[in-house]
Structure 1
Amino acid sequence: MITQGGPGSIIHIRADENDFYDLTGRTLRIERGGTEQAPVTIRGVRSDGSVGYAHLHSDRTPWTLPTSPETVTDTSQWNPGGDLFLVASGAQHIVFEHLDLRRAGNAIKLSDRMHGLTIRNCRGYNVRRFLEMNSNIDVSDVVVSHVTVIGFSKHCFRCRGTGGNWLFEAVSANSGRQDGDNFAVGIGINEMAHGIVIRDSEFANCHDSQNRYWNGDGVSSEEENSNILIEHVVCHGHTDGGLDLKSSRTTVRNCEFYDNKINVRAWGDIALINNITRSAHLRGGVGYAAHIGVYANKEVTANLRIDGIKMLEKNPDVSLFSLGGENATISVVRYEIDKAPGTALIRKDRASGATMIANPPLL
């Protein structure tokens, strides 16, 4: 259909009340696309022409979001599910909209380099990953906007390879505590991906109890990533970091973090501006709960600058700052702290050669 329609074509998938498309054993493979001026659009629409969400599903083990946000589901023995869409070599400038993608291993998978991907006004439910991509490919000029995903057990969105210019906007990703698949994360950024904006979004309840140290983050980045902006984002309920950032030239502003083991974990060149952290929560695994942690390893050392932060903590067993790693540094200006009596301001962790400067002094 894309070949017949050419650039600028619009493909409708009927989305009337009883239209459910079972793609078990079949993946919709896309090998053609549009141009920057005339993208190809694949959208759900009702037969009367009004907006509707086309429901496509594969064969992932059925699941329903539990009533309690603390209920954990073990997915280790599940059927992970097949892929729904595979965007393959030759496809450029594709728009997905008004799709309801369910019970998939990968709702949308990118297998080769491409430019100009837009996913907007879509929903996902019970997927291993909503957006996956192969390693070390150039995928650039990507917009993920107004997308809600409930239930995932790996990266909800994976951003990696060598490409840049990615925007995540108005995204809501709730893992639903699907455990047993080794490392759930709302947005996982790695390899050489750069030039990424995440704004006006929420990431919740990533749960990973597979190892002694429990992972599970809202947003994570690695040392090769750079030029990342995170703003107006809320991260809560994760068994590790609200944010876990090893990237360089990374700015986090006007965000809120709560109910995570460590609300913000910083390993790279990070600036926190006008953020709120509150009520850190250790659910399990080794370690302890804290609001802000700075660390170092062989590849990267934290240089964290905080300009404006509000910290609220009622549990005296929680530390506000965790200092770890030789040569890591943290500077703090413009802060407001409201803590329970006995709450530790600073806890030194592991190789505790970190340097902390606060103005005015914290102690």
Structure 2
Amino acid sequence: MITKRALGLGAISAVAASFALPFRVERSAEADERRESGERKSFANRRYITPVGSGNRSGTDWQNAATLVDINEMIRLAGPGGTVNLLAGDEPFRITDPIAISRGGVSHAPVKVMGIDSAGAPAKARVVGTRTSPYPTTREDFAAMDRGSDVFRLKAGADHLHFSFLEFQNIGNGAFLVQANIAALTLEDIIATNATRFFERDSNKMCTVTDLKVRRVSVDGFSKSAFRLDQNTSNVVMEDVFGDSMRQDFDNFAEGVDLSGNVHDVVFRRCVMRNSQQTRGPDDFWNGDGFTSELGTHSILFEDCIASGNTDAGFDLKSNNVTLLRCKSYGNAANFKLWGKEKVVMQECVSENPIQYGGNQSPTHITAPWGAKVIVKNCRFTDRNRDATVYHTDANDTVKPPVGSTITVTGSGVNSSGKLSFVDLNSKVFIDGVEQPLDGR
């Protein structure tokens, strides 16, 4: 009896299974269709570019690769969330004229432009221009040099783009030249050598960048700047960015980072700028800075950043609401030159060995010019230079009465062979509550 019941149940189960089977097959077919659709979509969202192109140049695969001049169309075809791959191989992408980009992604779905090798692994694709290399060492050779071309011109519509794994060599005024208001630009894992500038804006056009992220970018050899940001550019984060001008002279003049206009809400973390050089006569002022910001910029944080070897200032900042946290500046004519009048704070920073490269600027650790108000907390200053001044004020005597500056210092250590302070007209220096004597002029 038990056996018959068991057999009966088994028969019922078998019948049920026979009815369920078509449903299972149908559901499996739907899953396969969804998977294949996803694969087709993924395939459609990838485009491929090589230095000379191949096949029908549609960019659908390596066998039909497009060329770099087609990159704007490849970005359009890849679409939001898509990727445009540039081949990183022995042959570089050679450029003599700029390339316009007016396509992009959408919020949360950028288009990625990245270098990969033939196996699909991330690798830096090389873009090589015509700028004279090595850089001239005389004014005569500089006047005759090939300045090279900028590379990517970012125009209206070039929003939500992510560039990575690229290498630029011998380029002119910008690997990236912003020629419109754009949003959500990311640059990562990029190196550049021998450039007028790496990142530039067109001063004759709207060029605000909203939401700019730069990470692990290195620029070796520039005669103007690594980065220049302008107008209302905001929400900027730069992390692990390195710039070395390598003393490319004669271009009047190099600045590692140049912020102007109303640039605001900017964060620099672990960034390094060094060796900006301007050579002039012995009685002239020599420019050449690491990090600079002009009047009108505000709300800027420098965290764990380093500036060195510049013939003017390591940090030359005219911003209000600027904080330098754990920054180091050494071997510049003026290690810190801070002009702001509101919320200008140095905290846990280090200044070492300011030196005079030439011209009429004496070496200083901190200079507070023209009405600046600077707060210095828990910083350290060291040198072996008898000509150095640690806390230096510079009154604006172009107005009457001259407008002096104030430096307020707490908890900071000094080990200097030079002068502790220079207190100019109508200026003050307080060290742990003690006012330093007036020097005048």
Q: Normalized against structure 2, the TM-score is what? A: 0.76
SS in 1 for 2:158: coil
Equivalent residue runs for 1:169-184 within 5 Å:
169-184=239-254
What is the CA–CA distance in structure 2 between the aligned matches of 1:171 and 1:73, rounded to whole Å? 29
CA contact (8 A) 2:393 2:404 kept: no
Residue 198 of structure 1 aligns with an amino acid whose one-letter code is: F
Residue 152 of structure 1 aligns with an amino acid whose one-letter code is: F
Equivalent residue runs for 1:40-79 within 5 Å:
40-63=111-134, 75-79=142-146
CA contact (8 A) 1:73 1:177 kept: no
Identify the residue that residue 113 of structure 1 maps to in structure 2: 181
Residue from 184, 196, 202 that aligns with 1:134 = 202
CA contact (8 A) 1:241 1:261 kept: yes
Identify the residue that residue 331 of structure 2 maps to in structure 1: 259
What is the CA–CA distance in structure 1 between the aligned matches of 2:338 and 2:129, rounded to whole Å? 38
Identify the residue that residue 205 of structure 1 maps to in structure 2: 275
Identify the residue that residue 216 of structure 1 maps to in structure 2: 288
Q: 1:219-252 CA deviation, whole Å, 9 max, x = no partner?
A: 1111100000001001000000000011110000
SS in 2 for 1:96: strand
Identify the residue that residue 2 of structure 1 maps to in structure 2: 75
CA contact (8 A) 2:324 2:347 kept: yes
SS in 2 for 1:103: strand
What is the CA–CA distance in structure 1 between the aligned matches of 2:289 and 2:240, rounded to whole Å? 18
Q: 1:316-341 CA deviation, whole Å, 9 max, x = no partner?
A: 1111121111231110001111122x
Q: 1:163-192 CA deviation, whole Å, 9 max, x = no partner?
A: 210111100100000001012111100011
CA contact (8 A) 2:429 2:435 kept: no
What is the CA–CA distance in structure 2 between the aligned matches of 1:204 and 1:193, rounded to whole Å? 22
What is the CA–CA distance in structure 1 between the aligned matches of 2:218 and 2:181, rounded to whole Å? 25
CA contact (8 A) 2:280 2:359 kept: no
Residue from 309, 312, 318 that aligns with 2:382 = 312
Q: 1:113-142 CA deviation, whole Å, 9 max, x = no partner?
A: 000000000000000000001235321100
Q: Which runs of 5+ in 1 are unaligned?
A: 66-71
What is the CA–CA distance in structure 2 between the aligned matches of 1:210 and 1:131, rounded to whole Å? 27
Equivalent residue runs for 1:1-363 within 5 Å:
1-16=74-89, 18-24=90-96, 26-63=97-134, 75-105=142-172, 106-135=174-203, 136-210=206-280, 212-268=284-340, 269=342, 270-296=344-370, 301-325=371-395, 326-340=403-417, 343-348=418-423, 352-359=425-432, 361=434
Residue 166 of structure 1 aligns with an amino acid whose one-letter code is: V
- Deviation of 1:88 after TM superposition, in Å, equals 1.0
- Deviation of 1:8 after TM superposition, in Å, equals 1.3
Q: 1:8-39 CA deviation, whole Å, 9 max, x = no partner?
A: 111111002x1211101x22211100012110
CA contact (8 A) 2:167 2:192 kept: yes
What is the CA–CA distance in structure 2 between the aligned matches of 1:314 and 1:259, rounded to whole Å? 12
Larger radius of gyration: 2
Residue 179 of structure 2 aligns with an amino acid whose one-letter code is: S
**Whose relative contact order is higher, 1 or 2, with alpha carbons under 8 Å and at least 6 apart?**
1
CA contact (8 A) 1:238 1:261 kept: yes
What is the CA–CA distance in structure 2 between the aligned matches of 1:76 and 1:334, rounded to whole Å? 50
What is the CA–CA distance in structure 2 between the aligned matches of 1:287 and 1:196, rounded to whole Å? 29
Comparing 111-120 and 83-92, the one that deviates more: 83-92
RMSD: 1.6
SS in 1 for 2:77: helix
What is the CA–CA distance in structure 1 between the aligned matches of 2:144 and 2:289, rounded to whole Å? 22
What is the CA–CA distance in structure 2 between the aligned matches of 1:82 and 1:96, rounded to whole Å? 19
What is the CA–CA distance in structure 2 between the aligned matches of 1:214 and 1:255, rounded to whole Å? 23
Q: 1:237 to 1:362 in 2, by over 3 A?
A: farther
CA contact (8 A) 1:7 1:34 kept: yes
CA contact (8 A) 2:423 2:429 kept: no
Q: Which runs of 5+ in 2 are unaligned?
A: 1-73, 396-402, 437-441
Q: 1:210 to 1:4 in 2, by over 3 A?
A: farther
CA contact (8 A) 1:180 1:210 kept: no
SS in 1 for 2:159: coil
What is the CA–CA distance in structure 1 between the aligned matches of 2:144 and 2:377, rounded to whole Å? 46
What is the CA–CA distance in structure 1 between the aligned matches of 2:108 and 2:192, rounded to whole Å? 28
SS in 1 for 2:378: strand
CA contact (8 A) 2:354 2:363 kept: yes
